[in-house]
Chains A and B, each alone.
Chain A
Amino acid sequence: MNMLYFLYIEFLAKYNIPQWFGDITFYFIPGIIIFFALLVVILFLVLIERKLLGWFTQRKGPNRVGLWGVLQTVADALKLLCKENITPDKSNKVLFNLAPILIFLPVIPILGIIPYSSEFTFVNLRTNMLIFIVFASLPVLCILLGGWASNNKYSLIGAVRNIAQILAFELPMAFTLIGIAALASSINLSDITLAQNNANGVVGWFIIPNIIGFIIMFICTLAELNRCPFDLPEAESELICGYNTEYSGMRFAMFYLSEYSMLFANTLFISVLFLGGYLSPFGKYLAPILLPESIGNVAIYFEQAFWLILKSFLIIFIVIWVRATLPRMASFDLLKFSWCWLLPISILNLFFIIILKCGGLCA
């Protein structure tokens, strides 16, 4: 990170721009880079989800716009841009317009704290796991805002459901995260990644001692993202479209984009916690072996990012697979499932992890 800072200052100095300007703007650059990288990833994610769903349900999926339908999402986004933005009568107009803007913001800090490679984290704070906990549950507030401000009964029911759902799933998730912190003796994501380093690759990953935690975390993430089978807030067969029933055009697209970007951010986070983050599954990096030494030492960082994103896409694949297979849970059963099963199991799992750690059975 420091290296990047000096490179930036040097670059500005070439054009006689003073250093104080560089000091201020430097902290905006990661945000801008993340934002545009995210847009590309989302476009790809939406396409992949539709292609996979098509595959699961014996259809072709989008295959008309561009080669193999790669431009389908772009076409959809353009269509949504051209649509009229309708603000319902008697709605709270300020909050109604604010919600879709706010909902897109929390994802950027989350992507900022992920260690993409051993040398590259945008914001490497000592306690950045806490940042995730705070920002990952922020979209809920925006959903409540939008659902309440729409002045629509379906939206309101969807928003209230979402609040109940997040409250129920936040606690088991927190207990799982504490388990990870205990295993790694740190709540810094870079340290957590390094704690999983092992000469034999997969063996060192926290998914091995903490498989129950991984499953709980996966379920909680599904709930937090409102993905099937926990997509109650936007259950289309019950609540039309839930909290975003009244939204149209670009505002609807913002909700949609935020959903996919949160999916990406959350799966990256799970990969860091359980699947060894940027570490290679073979224990050794392939780049120095396959490539000549001069390129290989730099390519190692790209390989690390590749492993991280590959792991996150594997989880995304499972998420989509679950969506294609399972029906939606009922809201009452969902709360019961979380409070009566997930929470006790996650607490027991935490004790188990602590015993493992104290007994020195894992690193």
Chain B
Amino acid sequence: MNNSRLKLNLGPQHPSTHGVLRLVLDLNGEKITACEPDVGYLHRGMEKMAEKLSYIQYLPLVDRIDYLAGFFYSELFCRSIENALEIELSNRIKAIRVMLLELNRIASHLLWIGAFLMDLGAVSPFFYAFRERELILQYFEKISGQRMMNNYFVFGGLRHDIFDLDDVEEILRILPEKIIDYENIITENPIFIQRTAQKGILEASDAINYGITGVNLRTSGFNFDLRKTDKLYDGYEFDTVVLENKDSWGRYKARVLEIKESIKIVAQAVANIKTNTIYEATKIKPVNLTIPEGEYCSEIEAPRGLASCFIISDGNKAPYRLKWRTGSYYAVNLLRKLLVGTYINDAIAIAGSLDIILPEVDK
């Protein structure tokens, strides 16, 4: 039975669809009776491009799959190639990569906190979150020359060794204080709790059926963190944040806690970098690089859930087929289920809480 009175076209040009997501909503009053997400407005053919470009030509593009977590996709692509060529990384390179990945995760979560609160109508946290994110981006700029699409990881190592850890120590010193500030202004705010608690409840079974990973899955009470089994993170002490809240508030809280865990990891990585002073990268000739025939897959815990890069090589200069798996794509599909029965302003909050980044969805 179709009891919708109004069909509302939310997006693709809408302030809080975080890019170009289009949601076709059937409304009864302000209540949503059906939701149809429409993606593809930012499709850049990332996977097809890989088949035409050589590996080193494709490397700068992978950062752009998710511009907020560029290091993760660089790392994934490099790791696939390193697996194929059976390259072992030195300890210093591993530690630097861990440090940059976790700094990137912090930056991504900070941006999410700001944007989520903006969706809820609070302006100030957006600026506060950007102020701290700026410190991290400035450090990225210092080491790689770019603020966001860094293109810093290369096959078998880094573009060059890092030369400065003072800024990271400064970030490690400042961030915990600032996070206390966020918690003071946001976490226990009654209106914030009213808007997010018990809204957009996601059961673990549904999350698994829809392919949801990352923070959204862990907030549903399911312990799944790829970093625990990742070889890159061997020897790092940190807790996986698992909450039983299942709602938007839990997803916010989990991200704040994850920032704290990431700070711990960065501190350990900095210590590791200081003990491993020798930078030795495996020299490979990037031009005309070929990888042996076969299928290579690598996975990583990205800020928006499990991300993987699957390469089928036929031994040529370009892969025969390359497939990306990104977390947000599955979260968009979940909107079909989560938004039905909610009101418009809750719907915006729920969609925001899933941390959907459109370039990552469309690829």
- Give chain A's interface residues, CB within 8 Å of chain B: 53, 56-59, 153-154, 157, 161, 228-229, 231-232, 235-240, 323-333
Contacts and interface: CB of A to CB of B under 8 A. Distances in A.
Interface of B: 6, 8, 14-16, 30, 117-124, 126-128, 131, 185, 189, 191-192, 194-195, 343-346, 348
Nearest to B115: A237
Nearest to A228: B121
Given A237-B348, A238-B16, A229 B343 contact: no
Contact of A327 (B6, B14, B195): B195
Given A57-B123, A238-B345, A328-B121, 8 more contacts: A58-B128, A229-B191, A235-B345, A238-B344, A327-B120, A328-B195, A331-B30, A332-B343
A327 B191 contact: yes
Nearest to B344: A238
B194 A236 contact: no
Nearest to B186: A327
B131 A330 contact: no
A324 B346 contact: no
Nearest to B31: A332
A325 B185 contact: yes
Of A56, A229, A238, most B-chain CB atoms within 10 Å: A238
Contacts of B124: 56-57, 324-325
A231 B120 CA distance: 11
B328 to A, nearest CB: 19
Contacts of B185: 325
A237 B121 contact: yes
B16 A329 contact: no
B127 A237 contact: no
B251 to A, nearest CB: 15
Given A237-B16, A333-B194, A157 B344 contact: yes
Contacts of B123: 53, 57, 323-324
Query: When A and B form their complex, which 10 residue pairs have the shortest distance between CB atoms, in order from nearest?
Result: A328-B121, A57-B127, A327-B122, A327-B120, A237-B16, A237-B119, A327-B121, A57-B124, A330-B345, A324-B124
A229 B126 CA distance: 16
Contacts of A58: 127-128, 131
Nearest to B120: A327
Contacts of A328: 120-122, 191, 195, 345
Contact of B122 (A53, A59, A240, A326): A326
A230 to B, nearest CB: 10
Given A57-B128, A157-B344, A323-B123, A329 B194 contact: yes
Nearest to B117: A327
A179 B16 CA distance: 43
A235 B126 CA distance: 16
Contacts of B16: 237-238
A161 to B, nearest CB: 8
A237 B8 CA distance: 15
Contact of A240 (B15, B119, B120): B15
B118 A237 contact: yes
Contacts of A235: 121, 345
Nearest to B126: A57
Q: Which of B117, B120, B185, B195 has the most CB of A within 10 A?
A: B120
Contacts of B189: 326-327
Contacts of A59: 127
Nearest to A56: B124
A49 B349 CA distance: 26
Contacts of A324: 123-124
16 contacts: A56-B124, A57-B124, A154-B8, A157-B344, A231-B121, A235-B121, A235-B345, A236-B15, A237-B15, A237-B16, A240-B15, A328-B122, A329-B194, A330-B343, A331-B30, A331-B345
Contacts of B344: 157, 238-239
Contacts of B117: 327
A161 B27 CA distance: 15
A232 B191 CA distance: 14
A238 B30 CA distance: 11
B65 to A, nearest CB: 26
Contacts of A161: 30
Nearest to A232: B345
A154 B189 CA distance: 28
B121 A153 contact: no
A206 to B, nearest CB: 28
B4 to A, nearest CB: 12
A57 B127 CA distance: 6
A129 to B, nearest CB: 31
A237 B343 contact: no
B342 to A, nearest CB: 10
A340 to B, nearest CB: 13
A80 B30 CA distance: 32
B345 A153 contact: no
Contacts of B121: 228-229, 231, 235, 237, 327-328
Contacts of B345: 232, 235, 238, 328, 330-331
A159 to B, nearest CB: 13
B37 to A, nearest CB: 17
Nearest to B196: A327
A102 to B, nearest CB: 26
B30 A157 contact: yes
Nearest to B131: A58
A157 B343 CA distance: 12
Contacts of B122: 325-328
Q: Among the interface residues B8, B118, B191, B346, which one has the most CB atoms of the partner chain A within 10 A?
A: B191
Contacts of B195: 327-330, 333
A58 B178 CA distance: 14
A161 B346 CA distance: 15
A235 B10 CA distance: 14
Nearest to A59: B127
Contacts of A330: 194-195, 343, 345-346
A232 to B, nearest CB: 7
